[in-house]
Amino acid sequence: MHESSPSLPGVPPVVIGVDSSTQSTKAALVAAESGTLLAVGRAPHSVSGVGGARESDPEQWWQALRLAVADGLAAAGVPASCVSGIAVAGQQHGLVVLGVDGGPLRPAVLWNDVRAAPQATALTRALGGPNAWAARTGSAPVAAMTAAKWAWLREHEPRTASRVVAVRLPHDFLTERLSGTGVTDPGDASGTCWYDTGKRAYDEELLALIGLDAGLLPEVAASGGARVGALTPAAAGHLRLPAGIPVAAGTGDNMAAAVGLGLGHAGLLDHPVVSLGTSGTVFAATDARATDPAICGFAAADGSYLPLACTLNCTLAVDRVASLLGLEREDAVPGGEAVLLPYLDGERTPDLPTASGLLVGLRHATTPQQLLGAAYEGAVVTVLRALDDLLRACGLDPADPAVAAQPLRLVGGGARGRVWQEAVRRLSGRPVVVPRQSELVALGAAALAASAAGGGDPVAVATGWGSGEGDQLDAVERDTATWERVTSVLDRAAPSLLR
């Protein structure tokens, strides 16, 4: 490990990987050499907002990080003096604006806040269309992107915008609290729509178009595993960790999950992943830079690329349908004739930011269990259609038998749910691999921390740990009838959902 890393005789060094997500923070304590997951500390935080608004106080994230680290240390039963490095992976795209005292000027505008849809449309037109944006940033502006959120803030809260002295992403904010250094990484920076993924630098022309001074932005580290500073005495006091331990640049949550799975230069490339969380995401690590506006051509934490497509409505939306029906999430059965598009918060892929849920095909014989099953089917078809967009953007044909037979890695909170697994297998016709480790974002962050503390490629570190290994569920015959029924409704309804 790094020469400043403390240790005790007989006690192996430990790294901490933090997963600061939309609704909670997790801190994974991992044995740096073996990758053994010693404990996971947890702490919740809240999201507020109505009518498309989704906001959180960043100070909640810091408090939750402190609580999660304390919880993890207590559960692991190891002395804090054995901790040798820390890194944060955070929810992507969120806009954090800081004042002269270093504190937030307002609640953070989160990734799933859709109020910036008009600004995203205006920015897209201002540069000449989505292809022009994707050629430079890898992505076209949508309501989720940080650039659109900054434009919204300037338009709706100009006094606040005029007082901003620093603009950060969620993981940047927490990394700065740990190290005192304003820094980000290429992966999370690529989700802003002001970072050029080809030049690997901020795009000055786009910043001017957005109305954002580059001096407000953090420095971009070479990778998410780069050591960007040391734990400050103040942060060490709050966390009860040794001052001076290495702090890694960290990255976005999806990039960290890829590291945890061993996806990147030092591991597997072009291996599709389906993540079933609050949102549904699909991504694959590749050396090829994607510039198709149908997806997000992100950079990865390790210098490769991570093309990704994201849907807003996944496990949270389906759980809400279950609650409305008075059912448990595992009570679902196939939907029969019913089709339910659970777009309860608008939708991102397809780009329907003002959409609401849609139910068709209801009959006297339709049961509540079938309605819940239809919600699963609507969410899974939406995610798998996004996967087809991703494959095409990578130059692959989703209908090619060799491509269609490739296993999907299923991760996220829904990956261990029986109904989610069955719905993905039934509607994709593919085999599914479910990694044995569930905290892949936190484990990926831990690998970044280990890289900062001891050197080495973080993907190679995670691959050596075996954190992405799992059990394969065989393919089943594809349910083409349900697929065609759901996609037909979606294609016919999309124009009316754009209101």
Q: Burial of 268 by CB count in 10 Å (0-12 exposed, 13-18 middle, 19+ buried)?
A: middle
pLDDT at residue 1 above 70?
no
- Residues 6-34 have pLDDT tens digits of 445 556 899 999 999 999 999 999 999 99
Q: Give the number of other CB atoms < 10 A from CB of residue 360.
A: 15
Contacts of 494 (CB under 8 A, 6+ apart): 350, 352
Binding residues for substrate: 92-93
209 phi/psi in degrees, rounded to 5: -65, -40
Task: Assign 3 a pLDDT band (cuts: 50, 70, 90).
Answer: very low
Q: For residue 334, is the peptide bond before it cis, meaning its omega torsion is within 30 degrees of 0?
A: no
Classify strands 219-220 and 183-184 as parallel, antiparallel or unpaired. parallel
Catalytic residue among 172, 185, 253, 479: 253
CB atoms within 10 A of CB 408: 22
pLDDT score of 462 more than 80: yes
Task: Identify the residue with better confidence: 420 or 345.
Answer: 420
Residues 222-234 have pLDDT tens digits of 999 999 999 999 9
Rounded distance between C-alpha atoms, residue 13 and residue 31, angstroms: 6
Angle, CA 75 vertex, CA 72 and CA 81 arms, to 5°: 65
Q: Are 455 and 223 in contact (CB under 8 A)?
A: no
Q: In percent, how much of the chain has pLDDT > 90?
A: 87
Give per-residue pLDDT as tens, 241-300.
Answer: 999 999 999 999 999 999 999 998 877 777 899 999 888 999 999 988 999 998 999 999
Per-residue model confidence as pLDDT tens digits over 19-72: 999 999 999 999 999 999 999 999 999 999 998 999 999 999 999 999 999 999
101 is catalytic: no
Tell which residue, 461, 430, 466, has the closest CA to residue 32. Answer: 461
Structure tokens at 462: 């995670």
Q: How many CA atoms lie within 13 A of 327 on its CB side?
A: 19
DSSP 23-48: SEEEEEEEETTT--EEEEEEEE---B
- What are the Cα distances from residue 214, in Å, to 136, 183, 249, 388, 401? 17, 13, 19, 36, 47
113: left (phi over 0), alpha (psi -120 to 50) or beta: beta
Burial of 288 (0-12, 13-18, 19+ CB in 10 A): middle
* Pairwise CA distance, residues 451 & 432, whole Å: 30
Handedness of CA 413, 415, 418, 419 (dihedral sign): positive
**What single-letter DSSP state applies at residue 304?**
S
Q: What DSSP designation does 80 have?
A: G
Q: Does residue 466 have a pLDDT over 60?
A: yes
pLDDT (tens digit per residue) in 427-460: 999 999 999 998 999 999 999 999 999 988 999 9
- Please report the DSSP string for 148-182 in residue order: HHHHHHHHH-HHHHHT-SEEE-HHHHHHHHHHS--
Query: Annotated binding site: which residue ranges?
Result: 92-93
Domains of the chain listed by start with CATH number:
14-256+441-465 (3.30.420.40)
pLDDT, tens only, 87-139: 999 999 999 999 999 999 999 999 999 999 999 999 999 999 999 999 999 99
DSSP 300: P
Whether residue 267 contacts residue 31, with contact meaning beta carbons closer than 8 Å, is answered with: no
* CA dist., res. 87 & res. 175, Å (int): 7
Tell me what the pLDDT averaged over the chain comes to.
Answer: 94
Cβ-contact 181, 226 below 8 angstroms: no
Q: What ranges make up the beta strands (E) of 236-365?
A: 246-248, 251-252, 273-276, 280-283, 296-299, 305-311, 339-341, 358-360
Q: Please report the pLDDT score of residue 422 as a whole number.
A: 97
pLDDT of residue 317: 96
CB 143 within 8 A of CB 120: yes
- Determine the pLDDT at residue 2: 35
Q: Cα 150 to chain center, whole Å?
A: 20
Q: Are 260 and 301 in contact (CB under 8 A)?
A: no
Beta-carbon count within 10 A of 216 CB? 16
The answer to whether 275 and 309 are in contact (CB under 8 A) is no
Identify the pLDDT of residue 10: 57
CB atoms within 10 A of CB 472: 11
